[in-house]
Amino acid sequence: MTALLPPLRLTGATLLRDGALQKRSLVIEGGVISKGPHPEVDLSGYLILPGIIDLHGDAFERHIAPRPSAPFPILAGLRWTDREAAAHGVTTAWLAQCWSWEGGMRGPDFAEQVMAALAAYRPRAQTDLRLQIRCETHMPETRERLLEALLRHGVDYVVFNDHLPEALDVAARDPHRLALWAERAGETPQDFINRLHAAKARGRDVPRHLCALAEKFDGLDIRYGSHDDPDGETREYYRLIGARIAEFPTTVSAAKLARAFNDPVLMGAPNVVRGQSQAGNVSAQHLVAAGLCDALVSDYHYPCLAEAAWTLVDKGLKSLPEAWAMISTTPAEIMGLVDRGALDHGRRADFVVVDAASRAIEATVCGGRLTYLSGEAGARLVSAMQGQRMAAE
């Protein structure tokens, strides 16, 4: 992990603070936002915005296995993910790892390997990397194993999803897609079909299984929600067991049900940037315009987080403070992170420096540590720090 930045006063920039863009300075000292007279860095022409908090990203899978037949060590994949996240302004990120009957990189064995690797890598991480478990519902036989793994590795976020109906439909209608799915799991198509039917046979135990997990999560202060709710009825089912976070509802009706009960709705930033879902589901832009989306996540592409905020601004759907809150302040509130998500005195020094003209992120600071640096802002910061060292000598 890099050393803390020396005490600095960043001047001349426009800050996003208290929900508004303000011309004022930002002081950092000891890894937190502070006060007092310190050496100045002129960042005129730049925006200083709260660090991005990503609640769901699975792009790390491509760093671990850019091709199904070309895996790399998990630790190496985490290191590359760390750097990619930092380069795109992310200061806190939940990596979305499956716990699924699918097996392969989505099975429990691999999930536990990722948990162990992340625990080993975290002391060296530049970004605050955490883990979200995407728990397939039809796995009641793994409940105790899952709970033990979550406790051992300090996992604080779980979402339930049920992709079994989709998989059964693929098995019945699309042999080619089924073969690709089976190959990804390292199995023959017939073995994969057998796996599907074994999961289906456990259906009667699923409601009791989910309720038991929810009860444990409540006691352990683990946030939990559901993934890909197809309709309002499904969303209501999950919220009744306590799964309040609605991640990627695929229809307006599911999002409306979540909004009716003040459950936070998360959508993919790539959906916003592209103007549509890559899977053919509801448009995130439509949900934002209708007031049915609270926060945006990277999903499969870190660059889209900041780009989505600017897209909402350009389309007149949100002001910059409102749009940026969807990738910083609101995610922090959803996860109960009171020490970040805003540029307030005493909070972690998590922020990004953005060229106001080009909108390029030129610096990322996480916990007072410089995790990414480029461009003119980089030159100004380096010059100021060199000046401090020379003065000290």
Residue 323 domain flag: yes
Nearest CA to 115 out of 102, 128, 99, 103 is that of 99
- Same domain for 39 and 164? no
Nearest CA to 331 out of 160, 150, 89 is that of 89
Instruction: Please give the Cα distance from 344 to 34 (Å, whole number).
Output: 8
Out of 334, 351, 376, pick the residue that ends a domain.
334
Dihedral of alpha carbons 15, 18, 24, 29, sign: negative
Count of beta carbons in the 10 Å neighbourhood of residue 158:
24
Residue 3 domain flag: no
- Same domain for 245 and 370? no
What integer is the mean pLDDT of 268-289? 89
Residue 235 domain flag: yes
Out of 314, 334, 354, pick the residue that ends a domain.
334
Count of domains observed in the chain: 2
Please tell me the predicted confidence (pLDDT) of residue 276. Answer: 80
pLDDT tens for residues 310-356? 999 999 999 999 999 999 999 999 999 999 999 999 999 999 999 99
Contact indicator for 68, 184 with CB cutoff of 8 Å: yes
- Report residue 243 CA to chain centroid gap: 18
CA torsion angle 253 258 262 265 (round to 10) = -100
Residue 292, token pair as written in the block: 């049915």
- Same domain for 234 and 358? no
What residues contact 200, with CB distance under 8 A and at least 6 apart? 138, 164, 168
Angle in degrees, CA 307, 312, 314, rounded to 5: 90
Nearest CA to 351 out of 21, 47, 81 is that of 47
Residue 2 domain flag: no
Does 287 have pLDDT greater than 90?
yes
- Same domain for 240 and 301? yes
Higher pLDDT, 382 or 311: 311
- Same domain for 91 and 223? yes
- Same domain for 361 and 311? no
- Same domain for 211 and 318? yes
- Same domain for 325 and 177? yes
- Same domain for 114 and 239? yes
Dihedral of alpha carbons 21, 358, 275, 65, sign: negative
List helix spans (H) across 48-174.
60-64, 74-87, 108-121, 143-153, 164-173
Q: What is the mean pLDDT of the chain?
A: 94
What predicted TM-score, i.e. pTM, was given to this entire model?
0.95
- Same domain for 62 and 99? yes
For 132, list phi and psi in degrees, rounded to 5: -110, 135
Residue 285 domain flag: yes
Please tell me the predicted confidence (pLDDT) of residue 393. Answer: 47
Please tell me the predicted confidence (pLDDT) of residue 120. Answer: 96
Which residue's entry shows tokens 């009860």? 215
Helix axes 206-220, 143-153, angle to 10 degrees: 20
Residue 164 domain flag: yes
Among 163-172, 183-192, 227-236, which range has the highest average pLDDT? Answer: 227-236
Does 271 have pLDDT greater than 70?
yes
- Same domain for 350 and 289? no
Q: Which domain holds residue 112?
A: 52-334
CA distances from 180 to 161, 170, 176 (A): 21, 11, 6
CA torsion angle 40 367 98 305 (round to 10) = -20
- Same domain for 243 and 125? yes
pLDDT tens for residues 175-192? 888 888 888 888 888 888
What residues contact 120, with CB distance under 8 A and at least 6 apart? 75
Instruction: Please give the Cα distance from 247 to 241 (Å, whole number).
Output: 16
The CATH number for 250's domain is: 3.20.20.140
Residue 1 domain flag: no
CA distances from 214 to 208, 239, 247 (A): 10, 10, 17
- Report residue 280 CA to chain centroid gap: 21
What integer is the mean pLDDT of 93-113? 95
Residue 83 domain flag: yes
CA distances from 60 to 86, 190, 326, 329, 371 (A): 13, 29, 22, 24, 18
Q: How confident is the model at residue 391 (pLDDT cuts 50, 70, 90)?
A: low
Q: Residue type for 12, please?
A: G
The CATH number for 386's domain is: 2.30.40.10
Please tell me the number of Cα atoms within 13 Å of 342 on its side-chain side: 16
Please tell me the predicted confidence (pLDDT) of residue 129. Answer: 98
Please tell me the predicted confidence (pLDDT) of residue 266. Answer: 98
Does 272 have pLDDT greater than 60?
yes
Residue 17, token pair as written in the block: 């603070």
Contact indicator for 198, 215 with CB cutoff of 8 Å: no
